[in-house]
Amino acid sequence: MSDDLELEQLKAAISAATPAPDAAQRARNLALAQKNFETLQGSKDAARLSSDAPRRGLFRGVIDMLRTFPAKATLTATTALVAVGLVIYLPELSRLPAPGDLLGAPEEVVVIEVDDAPVATGTASTAAAKMAGERLQTGEAPVATMMAPQAELALDQARPAPAPFVIVAEADTESYPEADPNPLKVTAQEPVSTFSIDVDTASYGVVRSSILNGYLPDPQAVRIEEMINYFPYAYAAPTGGDLPFSTQVTTFGTPWNPGTRIVHIGLQGRMPETAERPPLNLVFLIDTSGSMSQPGKLPLLKQSFALMLGQLRAEDSVAIVTYAGSAGQVLAPTPASERATILAALNALDAGGSTAGQAGLQQAYAVAEAMADEGEVSRVILATDGDFNVGLSDPEALKDYIAGKRDSGTYLSVLGFGRGNLDDATMQALAQNGNGQAAYIDTLNEAQKVLVDQLTGALFPIADDVKIQVEFNPATVAEYRLIGYETRALAREDFNNDRVDAGEIGAGHSVTALYEITPVGSAARLTEPLRYGAATEDAAAAVSGELGYLKLRYKAPGADVSQLIETPIRGEGAASDDMRFAAAIAGFGQLLGDGKYLGDWSWGEAIALANGARGKDAYGYRAEAVRLMRLAESLAAQQ
C-alpha cells in the first residue's frame, strides 16, 4: 500500500489532475498585471515602454515556458490543454475588444502554442471533452497516456470503481442549501403546516443545465417548488375587489399513489395594466471577476441584458456598476431611450480589469437611491457566477444591509450565470432578503424568459411577505406532506408575526404549492393510527367534512401590516391541465431526489403525465421539460 503513495507517483497524478489555465483568462491576467505595473511606475516611466516590448516579452516567456517545462510528459499534457483552450474559447475571444490591449493578443499567443504542440493531437479530444463540458470522464481514462508511466498505478488506485461512460461533474465549489425533503407528518400530532411562497426559478435552471450536460443534478440542487413555479400557469386571475391575487384550492387523485390525494393550492397575481406601470430605475451590479470571462457567463450576460433593454420604456433608466474585477460605476443613470449608450457600456465590460471595486453593492444602492423619484420602483440586479465579494464580507451584515435597503424601497434581484462556482445558497438568501427573485440563466432562451417574457412580474411586486398556513383536519386527513418548500419552512408562530419576512408575488406571477394527503381509512396510510388517539379524531370529526383550513397572509408593497385571506379546503375538484402538469413536475423533482414516496411510479409515467398536460404551452417551456425528463430517464438508467 505504501508504495502506491510514493511522492513521485503522487506528483504525476496531481499534475495530471491539475487543469491548464484558461488561455483567454491568462492573457487578460497578464495584461492586468502589466497595467498595474505601469500604473505603479507612474506616467513618466510608462513612456519608456515601447508598444511591442511587453508583447515580445510574453512571446519569449511562452517559448521559455514550453522549452523549460519539467518533463516531456507534462509538457504534452499542458500544451494539449492550452491548444484546446483555443478551440473552445475562440468564439468568445472574437467578441472581446482586444485591439489596443497591450497584452491582449491571445490569438497570437495561442497560435504559437499550437504550432509547438504537434504531440497534442492524440490526446486533444480527451482534453476537449474535459474542458468543453467542464466535466471529466471516468472509466477508461485516456488521460493516463499523458503521464509518466509510473503514474498509471497511482491513477488506477485513484480512480473510483470503474463505471464506463458515466459522466461526473468536475471538481467545483458550488454550494447548495442543505435541506432534507419534507417528511410525512401525522395530522393528529402536527396538524399545522406553515411556509413562505417561493417564486424563484433558479433550481430549474440548474437542473436543466446539469441534465443537458449529461449528468443528473445534485439532489440538493433540486427544489421542487422552484421547478413547479418555473412554469406559467393560467389560473383564474382575481376579478374585481382589491385583492392582488386570487387563491384556489383543488383536490384530486395523486398520480403516483391511488390511496392518497393531492391538495393543489394555486395563487394567481393580478396583471396590472402595463401601460400604467411607474418608471423603472434599474442598476445592474455586475461581477467582473476573472472567472466571469467564460462564454456562459459575462458574454451571455451582455446578450441577456441587451435583450432586456428592448422591454424598457423611454422613461425608465439604467445604470451599471461593476465589482470584483473592475471598479465602480461604468454607466451613469441613462434613460432607456439612449440604447446605443447603454449597449456600448455593456459591451465594454470585461472580466478582470483592475482590482479596486470592493464597494460595489453600496455604490449600486447609492446610485439606485439617487435615481428614484417619489413613487418609482428601484431595483438592483446583481449578476454573478458566485463571487459575492461585493464589499461587505460579513454575510450577516450583508443580509442586514440588503434587508434595510428593501425596507427603504430598493429591491434586489439576483441572476446566476455559469456553473462551477455557483453559490446557490447565498444567491437565494440575498434575493429573499432583498424582496427579489433569484434566477439562474444558462441560455439565451432562459434570458428571454426571465428578462423579457416575465420582466413585468419580476420587477413589479404586487404582494410582499406572502405566507401560507394550512391546518389539516385529523378527522379526515391521517397524514400529509408538503412537496418542496423545504428551504421556505416557517415556524407556526411566524405566520402572524408581520416582522418575519417571506416571499413576494410579482405582477402576473402564479404560485403553486402541493400537499400529498392520506385520507383517514386509506390503505395507503404509512403510519399506524394510535390506539389512544381516537378520541381526538372523533371530536374534530364533528366540526365538518373539511380536509383542512387554508390561511394566507400578505402585505401590500411597502405596507407594514398584513392582510389575512382564509378558505376551507374541501375534498372536491377536477384536475386541469395546469394542475396535472404541476403534479408531473413534482414527480420529476422527486425522481431526481430519493423518490421514496413514489412507489413503483417511474419516469415513463411522469413523462406521459407531463406530455398529456402540456396544454397551450405558448412559449414551449413544457415541451422542453418533457425532453429533459426523457434525457433524465436515460441518464438515470445508466446508474
Partner 1 sequence: MDMLRDTSQDEELAERAIGGDGGAFAALLARHYDRVFGLAYRLTGGRAEAEDLTQDICAALPAKLQRYDARARFTTWLYRVVVNAAHDRRRRGAAHARAAQGWGDWEVARQAADAETAERIDWLTRAMRALPDDLRDTLALVLDDMTHAEAGEVLDISEGTVSWRISQAKKRLRTLKEKEDGA
CB 582 within 8 A of CB 264: yes
Is residue 19 a contact residue for partner 1 (CB under 8 A)?
yes
- Part in contact with partner 1 (CB under 8 A); list of ranges 167-175, 248-256, 305-313, 361-369: 167-175
DSSP structure class, residue 423? B
CB 504 within 8 A of CB 226: no
Total residues binding partner 1 (CB under 8 A): 97
Count the Cβ atoms, other than its own, within 10 Å of residue 149: 10
Is residue 358 a contact residue for partner 1 (CB under 8 A)?
no
Is residue 20 a contact residue for partner 1 (CB under 8 A)?
yes
Is residue 162 a contact residue for partner 1 (CB under 8 A)?
no
* Selected binder of partner 1 within 225, 226, 316, 385 (CB under 8 A): 385
DSSP structure class, residue 561? S
* Selected binder of partner 1 within 205, 232, 299, 352 (CB under 8 A): 352
CB of 488 to partner 1, least distance (A): 7
- β-partners of residue 257 are 254
Is residue 123 a contact residue for partner 1 (CB under 8 A)?
no
Which secondary structure element, helix H or strand E, spans residue 276, and what is its range? none
Is residue 43 a contact residue for partner 1 (CB under 8 A)?
no
- Part in contact with partner 1 (CB under 8 A); list of ranges 8-16, 439-447, 601-609, 614-622: 8-16
Residue type for position 134: E
391 phi-psi bin (left φ>0, alpha ψ -120 to 50, beta other)? left
Measured CA to CA, the distance from residue 462 to residue 485 in angstroms comes to: 21
233 or 485: whose CB is closer to partner 1?
Answer: 485
- Part in contact with partner 1 (CB under 8 A); list of ranges 47-55, 83-91, 309-317, 335-343: 47-55
Could you give phi then psi for residue 72, rounded to 5 degrees?
A: -60, -40
Is residue 386 a contact residue for partner 1 (CB under 8 A)?
yes
CB of 150 to partner 1, least distance (A): 14
Measured CA to CA, the distance from residue 185 to residue 577 in angstroms comes to: 28
CB 508 within 8 A of CB 269: yes
Give Cα separations from 208 to 101, 417, 513, 514 (angstroms).
Answer: 37, 13, 21, 22
Taking every pair of C-alpha atoms in the chain, what is the biggest distance, in angstroms?
94
* Selected binder of partner 1 within 99, 100, 160, 183 (CB under 8 A): 160
The three-state secondary structure class of 532 is: coil
* Contacts with partner 1, 429-468, as mask; x by CB under 8 A: x--x------------------------------------
The three-state secondary structure class of 163 is: coil
Measured CA to CA, the distance from residue 582 to residue 617 in angstroms comes to: 13
Give Cα separations from 561 to 27, 291, 490, 556, 564 (angstroms).
Answer: 55, 43, 18, 8, 10
CB of 123 to partner 1, least distance (A): 17
CB of 637 to partner 1, least distance (A): 19
Is residue 413 a contact residue for partner 1 (CB under 8 A)?
no
CB 421 within 8 A of CB 391: no
149 or 545: whose CB is closer to partner 1?
Answer: 149
Is residue 103 a contact residue for partner 1 (CB under 8 A)?
yes
- Part in contact with partner 1 (CB under 8 A); list of ranges 225-233, 423-431, 503-511, 572-580: 423-431
Is residue 111 a contact residue for partner 1 (CB under 8 A)?
no
Is residue 169 a contact residue for partner 1 (CB under 8 A)?
yes
Is residue 559 a contact residue for partner 1 (CB under 8 A)?
no
CB of 21 to partner 1, least distance (A): 4
103 or 320: whose CB is closer to partner 1?
Answer: 103
The three-state secondary structure class of 388 is: coil
DSSP structure class, residue 184? P
1 or 523: whose CB is closer to partner 1?
Answer: 1
* Selected binder of partner 1 within 157, 408, 497, 544 (CB under 8 A): 157
* Selected binder of partner 1 within 421, 435, 473, 512 (CB under 8 A): 421
Within positions 254 to 273, which residues make up the interface with partner 1, using CB under 8 A?
A: none
404 phi-psi bin (left φ>0, alpha ψ -120 to 50, beta other)? alpha
35 or 277: whose CB is closer to partner 1?
Answer: 35
- Part in contact with partner 1 (CB under 8 A); list of ranges 5-13, 328-336, 340-348, 597-605: 5-13
154 or 459: whose CB is closer to partner 1?
Answer: 154
Within positions 291 to 310, which residues make up the interface with partner 1, using CB under 8 A?
A: 291
* Contacts with partner 1, 212-231, as mask; x by CB under 8 A: ------x-x-----------
CB of 135 to partner 1, least distance (A): 9
Within positions 578 to 637, which residues make up the interface with partner 1, using CB under 8 A?
A: none
CB 336 within 8 A of CB 455: no
218 or 498: whose CB is closer to partner 1?
Answer: 218
Is residue 372 a contact residue for partner 1 (CB under 8 A)?
no
Q: What is the 3-state secondary structure (H, E, C) of 215-257?
A: CCCCHHHCCHHHHHCCCCCCCCCCCCCCCCEEEEEEEEEECCE
Instruction: Give CA angle at 343 (310, 418), nearest 5°.
Output: 85
Is residue 561 a contact residue for partner 1 (CB under 8 A)?
no
- β-partners of residue 265 are 249, 513
CB 127 within 8 A of CB 80: yes
